[in-house]
């Protein structure tokens, strides 16, 4: 990451960029696109996100970062190097679907139970311009589905199966702590 990367402002629920279909990136090596990648990497790290999509920083382009790591927002997230994905596309999914908690940097303070495919096979172009095919399961599969939804103008709230599961961050922390006590 270059040291001149800057912290980008996150737009929030209701902003038009979060509702639009983002456009494909045709030139990975474009200087503006490369700078955007640096700034998004910096921003996702600073904001403790496990993922970030360009529309969340008001850029309507098909670019996401998956950056799973355990933190106070997601205590059991797996560790991985932040991965930039350009024009990501889901190729196939499991039949199996599971519900688990989701939140979003663009929807601060709200969590909800979202059903997602437990396994996805997908492709993307990496920062070097090469096509990569990858498979994710469980939490990472959830993150990639959440981020690709952003590129299609869909927020996780639209995926919540039962609006009664929506909770505030404070109530969510209570649920998580109760779950931890159950495990130990």
- The answer to whether residues 97 and 137 touch, using CB atoms and an 8 Å cutoff, is no
The C-alpha atoms of residue 107 and residue 111 are separated, in whole angstroms, by 9
Q: Which residues contact 21 (CB under 8 A, 6 or more apart)?
A: 151, 152, 153
Q: Which of the following is catalytic: 147, 169, 171, 180? A: 147
Question: In this chain, which residue has its C-beta nearest to Zn ion?
Answer: 104
CB nearer to Zn ion: give 104 or 141.
Answer: 104
Specify whether 147 is catalytic. Answer: yes
- Is 104 a binder of Zn ion (CB under 5 A)? yes
- Is 64 a binder of Zn ion (CB under 5 A)? no
Q: Which residues contact 166 (CB under 8 A, 6 or more apart)?
A: 110, 111, 112, 157, 160
Number of residues that bind Zn ion (CB under 5 A): 1
- The answer to whether residues 132 and 86 touch, using CB atoms and an 8 Å cutoff, is no
**CB of 48 vs Zn ion, minimal distance in Å:** 13
CB nearer to Zn ion: give 40 or 104.
Answer: 104
CB nearer to Zn ion: give 85 or 104.
Answer: 104
CB nearer to Zn ion: give 36 or 49.
Answer: 49
- Is 63 a binder of Zn ion (CB under 5 A)? no
Sole window of 7-15, 33-41, 61-69, 102-110 interacting with Zn ion (rule: CB under 5 A) = 102-110
Sole window of 10-18, 35-43, 81-89, 104-112 interacting with Zn ion (rule: CB under 5 A) = 104-112
- Is 141 a binder of Zn ion (CB under 5 A)? no
Written as six digits, the tokens of 52 are 């970030």
**CB of 129 vs Zn ion, minimal distance in Å:** 26
Enumerate the active-site residues: 147
Give the residues lining the site for Zn ion (CB under 5 A).
Answer: 104
């Amino acid at each position: 990451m270059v040291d001149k990367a800057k912290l980008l402002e996150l737009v929030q629920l209701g902003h038009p960029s979060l509702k639009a279909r983002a456009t494909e990136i045709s030139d990975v090596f474009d200087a503006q696109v490369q700078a955007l990648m640096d700034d998004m990497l910096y921003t996702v790290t600073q904001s403790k996100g496990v993922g970030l999509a360009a529309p969340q920083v008001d850029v309507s382009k098909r670019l996401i970062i998956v950056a799973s790591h355990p933190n106070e927002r997601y205590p059991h997230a797996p560790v991985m190097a932040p991965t930039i994905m350009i024009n990501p596309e889901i190729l196939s999914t499991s039949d199996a679907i599971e519900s688990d908690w989701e939140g979003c940097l663009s929807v601060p303070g709200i969590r909800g139970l979202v059903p997602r495919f437990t396994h996805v096979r997908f492709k993307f172009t990496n920062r070097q311009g090469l096509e990569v095919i990858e498979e994710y399961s469980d939490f990472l599969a959830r993150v990639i589905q959440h981020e690709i939804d952003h590129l299609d103008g869909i927020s996780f709230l639209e995926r919540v199966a039962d609006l009664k599961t929506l909770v505030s961050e404070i109530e969510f922390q209570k649920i998580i702590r109760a779950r931890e006590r159950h495990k130990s």
